[in-house]
Structure 1
C-alpha cells in the first residue's frame, strides 16, 4: 500500500513538474534535536516559503532551477541562511539544526522571528492559538501548573468555577472538546474531581487550540480541539527536571538512544495522602499519579517512528470517621491509559504521510460495599488513522485522511433494588480531504469535506463541509473567514461527585450537530505586538442534558431471575435540546522581550432550548459568561528597565521572574426561588423546617455578582554551569475576594412564621503556595 501511494504521486509529480526542483526537510533544535513546530523557511529571491508542521517537516515544491539564498528562522533562535544551487528535476533534502541566540559576554539580544508578525498570523488557521510549555508554566496557578487553567485565560474559554478545571469554549460544554495527546483521544482529562488536568506540563512540547472552525482532519466534537504534543526527547545528551510543590513531586528526564533516536519520560505524584491526610481526620486519603513515556526513532532519512504512552490513576479512600473502624466508607479509583504508534514518512519531496495506531482506555471503579453499591465504568478505544499531505505546487496543496474508531465499554452498576448493564460496542468510519488554493500571495482559500459513518443500533451518516479564507488586507493586516458543519456521536453525563459517564448516539439519542460561522481580523502592531479580533455565531442541534426526572422516566429493560430490574439502555435518561451562541473576542499578545503575555476580552451569550424545560422557552445555561477579561504577564525583572529604554539585555546567572494574572467575569445566571410552600404527609404532623420547600422562578434569570481575581508569582532563577535551580512563591486570589459559587437557602418556622436565611457559598479564598524546580 505504501509503495503504491508513493508510486502514484511520483507519477503525478513527474507529469506536472518536469524541469522544476523542490526543497524539503526537517527543522530541529541544535541543542536537543527536538523537531521545531512552526519554523519558517523562506526564499527571498522568489518570495516563497513554507512553515514546518507538527513534526518539523516542510516542503516547497516546483522551484525553477537556479541559485537561491534560503533563510530558516524561528522565534528565539538564530536565523540560518544557506545558498543552494537547485538544478532541474532535483528533489533537494535540507535538514536544518537551529541554535538558540548566542550569549556574548553579559549581553544577549532577544529578537523576534525574521519573518514578520503579520506573516506568522497569516499562516495560522482561523481561531487557532498555540501555547509553549514556558507560557503554560509562567501563568500563576492553584499550586500546580495546569494546562486547562491556562486555557481559561484565553478569550472565548471560560470555567464554571474555581473548583473545576473543565473548560467551556464559545458556549459549548466540556464533552464537546476533543482532547488529544500524541494523536490519541483522552476521554477524562481531569484529576481530583476536576481540580487539575491530567496533562503533566513538564512533558508537553506544544499545545494547539482550535476554538472553532477547525479543519476536516478533526471530527467527533462540536466546539474545540486541544491537541497536545509531548516532547520527543533530547537526541544529543541526557537532561532532567525535578519539581516539588505543596501538592506533588514530579520528575522528567530525556536523552538519546544511541544515534538512532531519543526517549523522554516523566512522572508525577501527589503526596497529601502521606502527610496531611494522616494528621487531619477531615482530609480523605487521596492521591493521583500520572506519567508519560515517549520514544522517537530515526529509521532512515525518510521514515521516523515514535511510540508514546500516557497513564494516570486517581485513588480515593473515604471514611466518615477515621477514628472508628466500623465507620461507613467507600473506595473510588479512576484513570486513563493511552498509547500511540506513529509512523511519519516522506514518500517524495512533496508528499508527506502520517499513520497512527492509537489506544485509549478509561475506567472508574466505585465500591460502597456497606450499602451494597458498586459501579464499573469503562471505555476502550482502538483507532487506526492516516493522513497524507501532498504539496503539489506553490498554489495548490492537498490533504487526505481516514480514521477507523472501535469503541466499546459502558456502565455496570449494582445497587439495592436494581442493576445497570449498559455495555455497548460502537464503530466510526471517517474519511476526509481538504485542499489549499493560493491564487496569489494575497489569498489563501481552503476547502474541506469530512464524511462519517457511525454504527450503533442505529446507523448515522453525515457529510460535513468545511471552508476557510484568508486575505492580506494590507502590509500589516489580514482578514479571515471560516464556516463549517460538525457532528458528535458521544455525550457524557456530568455528575457532581463522580466521574462523568460517556454515552453514544443510538436509537434513543441522536447524534449532535453544530454549524460555525467565524470572521476574524488580525493586525501586527510593530514587530512585537499582535492584535486579533474574532466574531462568531454557532448553532447547536440535538444536544442533551441530564434528565432530572429520570427516576420517573426510565423503565427497566428486563428483569433477572430473582426479579431484580435491569437497565441497559438510555431511554428517558436525557432531555433533547437545541441552542446557539454568539460573541466577539479580542486578543493583544506579545511573545518576545522582557515583558510577555496577553490581554484578552470576550463578549458572548449562549441560549439553550430543551424539550419540556422552561415551557419550551430559551434560557442561558449556568456556564454563560457575558463578559470576560484576562491579563496574563511574565516580566523579566532584570531586563524590565532595559526594554523600556530600548537597551541591550543582560544575561545574568541570577534573575527574578514575575508572573501576574488578572481575571474578571460577569456574574453567572442562576435560578431563584419564587415562593416557599408547606407540605406534610398527614394533617396532624407537626410543621418544621423539613416541611418547607421552595418553588423555582423562571430558569436562570438572575445573575450572581461578578467574579474577580488577581494572582501573583515570583521565581528566582539561579543558573549554574550544568544545572539550574528555581525556587518560587505564588499566591492565588491575592486580595482574597469572596467570589460567590452559589446561594444557599435555609428555611425555618418560628412562631408560625416562615423565616428564610440566605448564605453565599464562596469559591477559593487566598491560597499561597511555594515550590522549587531543578533542571539538570
Structure 2
C-alpha cells in the first residue's frame, strides 16, 4: 500500500513539475533566435534541399520559427511574412531566396519612457508621397514601400526619429518603435512675460522677443524688430528711427547689432524709418542692456542679437505680404531630412507707387525742416522736388545636419538703399542734386558640435562689408561733394561650454576680429580732398562661470573678457573687462538682480558736414586711433527688483553708467563745439519702472524712465552740461485687447524735450569779424525743445483663406493727433549773414495698411 502511495506521489510530482516548468522551458527556447543563414542550412539537411541566396541579404537576420511549424512550405511562408523575403521553388531540390523590392511594413509606435502607445504620430516614407498616421493603439501598416527607403516618425512632444526600413525588417514581424520624449531645459525660476505675447524678461535680465508668438503693439501691424525693442523701458529713438536707437542715453553706434552672429553696420531702410531685418524668419531677438556675458565684445550701450530659425523644417512653409511701402516674401524648404533652406526677400514700391505712408515718410526724411529767419518769419522757397528712391533686402540660410552631433549653418544677407534726389528753386533756378548708394553685404558660417554629454562648441566665421557712396552737387554744379565710407570686417569666434555639474557650467572662448575702414571726402570748391584708411585687430580670449543653486534661489554669471587691441597705424592696448550677473530670490514672487560690466568698442560713427546732403545720411563709421578718437570704454552697474503674481508684473531697476572716450564729432553737436573734436565722457543715472497687468484677452501697462545724462569735457566751458540725448522723463501708457481673431492696440508716448543750444540774443548772436560769419552761442545745451507727445493705434484681423492658407489684414495710425513734435533744432547763417532757425519735425499722421498670407 505504501509503495503504491509513494509511486502515485512521484507521478503527481512529475506531472506538476512538467506543468510548471515546461512552459518556462518552452518560452526560453522560443526566446533564443538563430541566424537565418544557419537555420537555412539546417533546413537543407533536414529536407535534403538547396537554397540559393546572397549572403549580404540574410547575414544580419535572426529567426525564431515556432515549434509547431514542421512543414517546409509553412516554414518558408513564415520567413517570407516576417522578413519580407521572396522564396521561389526552382525544382524539387533547389530554392531561391531574394529580397522584395516593394514591401509591406507594419509596426507600432510607443513612448520610450512608459512604453505607452502613441496615437496620431506621423509615419512618412522619405522621398515619396507615402505617409500615414498611427491608430489609437499606436499601430501602422504601409504597403508598397521601397525596401531601401527611410521612415520619418514625428509627434508633438517627442524627438523626431529617422529609421531605415531595412533595419525594421531585420527585427521581424511588426516591431515596436520607441520615441524619445522631447525635453527642453527650462529655468525653474519664473520668466517674466509682459507687454504683449512673445516678450519675456529672462532671469539674467535680458529681454527675449519670440517673433512667432508676437502679439501687437501700438502703431505696429508687423513685428518690426527694431521698432519693437523701443517699447521696452530705457530704449527709445529720439529722432523716431530704427537706425538711431538710444539705450540708456547712448548713441546708436554704441549698440552691438548681430544677425546670426554677424555684426551689422547698417540696420535700417528709408534712412532709418524701417528695420532692414525680416521678422518672419527671425526666431528670437535678445536684448541685453547690462550684465553682458563675456562672449560679447563691442557695444558699450547694448547688445541686440537676432537669430533666425535654426532647425531644419519638417515641411515647406512660407508667406508673403504687402503694405503701403513695400512687399516681401519668405520661405522654409526641407530639401532632405538633413538639409534645409530658408530665404526672405523684400523690395520697396517707392520708385513706382506713391502712397500716403510713403509721402509722410518722405516728408519726414527730406522736407521735415521748418526754416525761419532771425525775425522768426518762415522762409518758404518755391521748390520743385524730384526723387527716385528704392530699397531692398535679401537673406538666405542653408542648414545642414552633418549628424546628430554636428550642425552646419551658412548665412547670407544683403541690404541696399538707393536715392537720386533733385531740388530746383523756381525763383533762382538753382539745382541741388543728391545721389546715395548704401549697401551692407554679409556672409557667415556656424558649426555647432556636441562632443560629449557635457562638452559643446560653437564656431562662428563671418565677413561683413558696408559701403556708403554719397554725392551732392550744389548751385548748378558749381560745387560738388563726394563722400565714401567703407567698412570691411572679418571674424573667427570659437565658444565652448562645459558642464562641470548639474548646477555649474564653464564657458570659454577666443575671438579674432579684423576691421578695416576707409573714409574719403572730396569737395571741388573750395578744393578739399581727404582719404583715411585704418585697420584694427582684436584678439579676445574670455571665460565665465554660470551657476544656479537648488530650486534656482540663486543664479550667477561671473566672467571676464581680455581684449588685445592693435591699430596697425598707431597703437596697441590691453583691456580687461569683468562681467557679473547675479539673481536672488528674496521672497515668493519677488526676486532681486545685480548686474555689472566693463565694455569697450573701437568703431564709432562720426557726424561730419552736418548740413550737407540734406542732413540725410551724414554718419560715417571710423576707427579709434588713440589720438583724435580713443577707444570708447564704459562701466555700468544696476540693481533691479522683479515681482510677478497672477499675471501682474512690477519691475524696478536703477542704474549708473559712465562712458569715456567719446568725441564731440560722434555726438551730433550743432553748436560752437560741432567741429572741434574734443574728447570727453558722459554719465547717466537712471531709473526704469514698469507695471503690467495681463488677462486672457488683454494687457495694459505703464512704464516710466528717468535719465540724468551729462557730458564732461575738460576743454569746454562749462565742463559739464546736459547730453544731447538727455531725456529726463519718458512715460508710456498702452494696452492691447484680443477679441476672437481681432487684435487691437492703443498707446500714448510722452517725453520731455531734448536739449539744444541757442545763439546769444540780439546782435551778439553773430560774429561778423571773421569769415565766414560765425554764430555766437549760449552755454551748450542750455535750452530744451517742447515736450514730445504721440498717440498710436493698430489693429490686425486674422482669417483663413483655405485649409492650409492663413491670412491677416492690418491697419495702423502713427501720431493719431497729427501733433507737430519738434525733434531737433539748430541754427545756420544764410547768404545775407542772417541767422536762420532749422527745426526738424516728427512724422505727421501716418496711416499704413498691410495684407499677409502664410502657408
Q: Is the TM value for this pair above 0.5?
A: yes
Q: Say if 2:605 is the partner of 1:492.
A: yes
Pairwise CA distance, 1:673? 3.0
Unaligned runs of 5+ in 1: 1-29, 32-76, 82-92, 100-112, 555-571, 639-654, 684-689
Q: Which protein has greater RCO, CA pairs closer than 8 Å, 6+ apart?
A: 1
CA offset digits 1:270-304 (Å, max 9, x no partner) = 11111239999635111110011112121111111
Q: Quote the Cα distance in structure 2 between the aligned partners of 1:171 and 1:531.
A: 23
Matched, 1:531 2:609: no
Shift in CA distance, 590/253, structure 1 to aligned 2, threshold 3 Å: farther
**Which moved further from structure 2: 481-490 or 593-602?**
593-602
Alignment of 1:452-463 (within 5 A): 452-456=563-567, 457-463=570-576
How many angstroms apart in 2 are the aligned matches of 1:396 and 1:502? 41
User: Residues 576 and 127 from structure 1, CA distance in 2 versus in 1: closer, same or farther, beyond 3 angstroms?
Assistant: farther
Q: What do the CA deviations read for 1:440-477 (whole angstroms, capped 9, x no partner)?
A: 44222222010001111200111111122111111211
After superposition, residues 17-28 of structure 1 pair within 5 angstroms as none
Whole-angstrom CA distance in 2 between matches of 1:94 and 1:226: 37
Residue 266 of structure 2 aligns to a residue whose secondary structure is coil
Aligned to 1:430: 540
With over 3 angstroms needed to count, the CA separation of the structure-2 counterparts of 1:672 and 1:390, relative to structure 1, is same
The correspondence for 2:437, drawn from 333, 343, 358, is 333
What corresponds to 1:624 in structure 2? 726
What SS is found at the alignment partner of 1:201? coil
TM-score w.r.t. the length of structure 2 is 0.68
Deviations 1:361-410 (A, max 9, x none): 10011234644433321111110001111111123211001110111131
Match of 2:482 in 1: 374
Aligned counterpart, 1:769? 848
Q: 1:154 to 1:401 in 2, by over 3 A?
A: same
1:366-765 aligned at under 5 Å gives the runs 366-368=470-472, 370=477, 371-416=479-524, 417-438=527-548, 440-441=550-551, 442-456=553-567, 457-494=570-607, 496-508=615-627, 509-526=629-646, 528-546=647-665, 574-589=677-692, 593-596=696-699, 598-613=701-716, 615-638=717-740, 655-677=741-763, 695-719=776-800, 720-743=802-825, 762-765=841-844
- Partners of 2:391 and 2:192 lie apart in 1 by 43
Alignment length (residue pairs):
634
> Offset at 1:709?
1.2
Q: Is the 8 A contact 1:427 1:454 kept in 2?
A: yes
How far off is 1:484 after superposition?
Answer: 1.9
1:761–1:436 Cα change, 3 Å: closer
Q: Answer yes or no: is 1:169 the counterpart of 2:250.
A: no
Instruction: Report the secondary structure of 2:226's partner residue.
Output: helix
Task: Verify the 8 A CA contact 1:436 1:445 in the aligned structure 2.
Answer: yes
Deviation at 1:78, TM superposition (A): 8.2
Q: Distance in 1 between matches of 2:850 and 2:586?
A: 48
**Range 277-286 or range 327-336, more displaced:** 277-286
Deviations 1:649-688 (A, max 9, x none): xxxxxx21112232111222222333122769699xxxxx
CA 1:621–1:772 in structure 2 vs 1: closer, same or farther (change >3 Å)?
same
- Quickly say closer, same or farther: Cα 1:97–1:337, change in 2 above 3 A: farther
Give 1:250-265 correspondences, 5 Å limit: 250-265=328-343
Which shifted more, 449-458 or 734-743? 734-743
Residue 610 of structure 1 and its aligned partner are, at CA, apart by 1.9
Closer/same/farther in 2, CA of residues 734 and 627 from structure 1, 3 Å limit: same
Which of 444, 451, 454 is 1:347 aligned to?
A: 451
1:229 is displaced (CA, Å) by 0.4
Distance 1:705 1:553 in 2: 23
Per-residue deviation, residues 719-768 of structure 1 (Å, max 9, x unmatched):
231111212211111122222224578999x9xxx999989653111111
In the aligned structure 2, how far is the partner of 1:288 from the partner of 1:333?
A: 10
Which string of whole-angstrom CA distances, capped at 9 and with x for unpartnered residues, describes residues 401-437 of structure 1?
1110111131123322232111122211101000023
Q: Summarize the Cα distance change of 1:767–1:135 in structure 2 as closer, same or farther, 3 Å threshold.
A: farther
Cα gap change, 1:424/1:261 in structure 2, threshold over 3 Å: closer, same or farther?
Answer: same
* 1:62-87 per-position Cα deviation (integer Å, ceiling 9, x unaligned): xxxxxxxxxxxxxxx98789xxxxxx
- Separation in 2, partners of 1:227, 1:674: 45
Say whether residues 1:359 and 2:463 are aligned partners. yes
In structure 2, the residue matched to 1:49 is none
Matched, 1:211 2:319: no
Correspondence 1:173-322 to 2 at 5 A: 173-232=251-310, 235-276=313-354, 282-321=385-424
Residue pair 1:603, 1:628 contacting (<8 A) in 2 also: yes
1 CA distance for matches of 2:837 and 2:521?
Answer: 38
Please show how residues 128-139 of structure 1 align to structure 2 within 5 Å: 128-134=206-212, 138-139=216-217
Measured at CA, do residues 636 and 500 of structure 1 come closer, stay the same or move farther in structure 2, by a change above 3 Å? same
Verify the 8 A CA contact 1:144 1:245 in the aligned structure 2.
Answer: no
Q: Secondary structure at the match of 1:736?
A: coil
CA distance in 2, matches of 1:78, 1:172: 44
SS of aligned partner of 2:280: helix
8 A Cα contact 1:677 1:692, kept in partner: no
TM superposition shift of 1:325:
13
Q: Is the 8 A contact 2:409 2:447 kept in 1?
A: yes
Closer, same or farther in 2 for the Cα pair 1:661/1:79, shift >3 Å? farther
Measured at CA, do residues 437 and 460 of structure 1 come closer, stay the same or move farther in structure 2, by a change above 3 Å? Answer: same
Q: Aligned pair in 2 of structure 1 residues 256, 597: CA closer, same or farther (>3 Å)?
A: farther
Tell me which moved more, 235-244 or 671-680.
671-680
Distance (whole Å) between structure 2 residues aligned to residue 153 and residue 483 of structure 1: 23
> Is 2:791–2:814's contact at 8 Å kept on the other side of the alignment?
yes
> Residues 540 and 199 (structure 1 numbering): CA distance in 2 closer, same or farther, change over 3 Å?
same
The Cα of 1:338 is off from its aligned counterpart by: 1.4
- Range with bigger deviation, 474-483 or 588-597: 588-597
The match for 2:86 is: none
Cα 1:449–1:388 shift into 2, 3 Å:
same
Distance 1:95-1:274 versus aligned 2 partners, 3 A rule: farther
Distance 1:114 1:410, change over 3 A: closer
Measure the CA separation in 2 of the matches of 1:680 and 1:310. 50
Change (3 A) 1:325 1:744: closer
Displacement of 1:141 in angstroms is 3.6
Q: Secondary structure at the match of 2:793?
A: strand
Distance 1:180 1:144 in 2: 21
Distance 1:539 1:326, change over 3 A: closer
Q: Distance in 2 between matches of 1:591 and 1:350?
A: 39
